[in-house]
Amino acid sequence: MELSGGLIKQFQPSKRVVVLTGAGISAESGIPTFRGEDGLWRRYRVEELATPYAFQTNPKLVWEWYDWRRGIIAKAEPNPGHLAIAEMERMFPHFSLITQNVDGLHRRAGNNKIIEIHGNLWQLRCVKEGTVKEDYRVPLPEIPPKCGCGALLRPHVVWFGESLNKEDLVFSYRLIGKCDLLLVVGTSAVVQPVASFPLMAKRQGAFVVEVNKNPTPISSMVDTFLRGPAGEILPALLGQIKEHWGK
């Protein structure tokens, strides 16, 4: 896949690069996305399960969903798209990754400068004490899992109707506000407040590139829309950047 020279030239080593990912980056690892054809679980939509109300009224159902996802993710491997983003972190001195994904695959791929802005489903939080611990057991021995204090444990993720972690949000706004280049990968760009990040970056003068299999609500406003699977496009992009640097 030959990308335009103009695009490749945007990726200079000195640029402050931010990558923003959604479920599409993990699709080629075999992890279902939320709003695509594979988006439903037992006919429920993510908006019906990923809420405090759903957890309060039926913690068992919500945990069955998370336990099912944890089982799939545990068997999944980072794909070439994840690996390309991990290599970008090593190449660009000013690099940050903001992910909406809770699967932990970017860290497994080798990224460290990550903001998991919707949390991480391998972390469990006591609803009473607020303590957070990592638990990688699949399947979980008890559904819903309980804390030693007897209270329920919940996934340490941000549900609909819940505010995002303040530090993560402030840090993300700062990165978006001063980046030169924003690469948006595999998100339907509908979930707020993250869905507004690309427009915010564009407004302050960043060059915005979107990688997605399909057009999204932001595709018409980005500088370059690369249509196709992230697992193919990102390695091609990275290869041509490295070639350009080598010249």
Binding site for ligand BV8 (CB under 6 A): 22-24, 27-28, 33-36, 39, 46-47, 50, 100-102, 118, 157-164, 186-188, 190-193, 211-214, 216, 229-231
Distance CA 172, CA 11 (A): 20
The owner of tokens 């994840």 is 82
Question: Would you say 98 and 19 are in contact if contact means Cβ atoms under 8 Å apart?
Answer: yes
Question: Nearest to residue 221, comparing CAs of 191, 163, 182?
Answer: 182
118 is catalytic: yes
* Least Cβ distance, residue 33 to ligand BV8 (angstroms): 3
Phi/psi at 182 (nearest 5 deg)?
-115, 125
Choosing from 82, 106, 118, 156, the catalytic residue is: 118
**Backbone phi, then psi, for 227, in 5-degree steps?**
-90, 125
Q: Which residue has the tokens 């998370």?
A: 66
Output the six-digit token pair for 241. 């950047």
Closest distance of CB 65 from ligand BV8, Å: 8
**Pick 160 or 171: Cβ nearer ligand BV8:** 160
Rounded Cα–Cα distance for residues 161 and 77 (Å):
31
Q: Which is closer to ligand BV8, CB of 160 or CB of 239?
A: 160
Identity (one letter) of the amino acid at 191? V
| Cβ 157 to ligand BV8 shortest distance, Å | 4
- Closest approach of Cβ 56 to ligand BV8, in Å? 15
CB nearer to ligand BV8: pick between 136 and 148: 136
Q: Minimum distance from CB of 13 to ligand BV8 (Å)?
A: 26
Nearer to ligand BV8, 13 or 192 (CB): 192
Which 3 state secondary structure label does DSSP give 138? coil
Bridge partner residues of 21 (DSSP): 99, 185
CB nearer to ligand BV8: pick between 115 and 230 = 230
Identify which of 208, 245, 247 has the alpha carbon closest to the alpha carbon of residue 91. 245
How far apart are the C-alpha atoms of 41 and 35, rounded to whole Å? 11
Active site residue ranges = 118
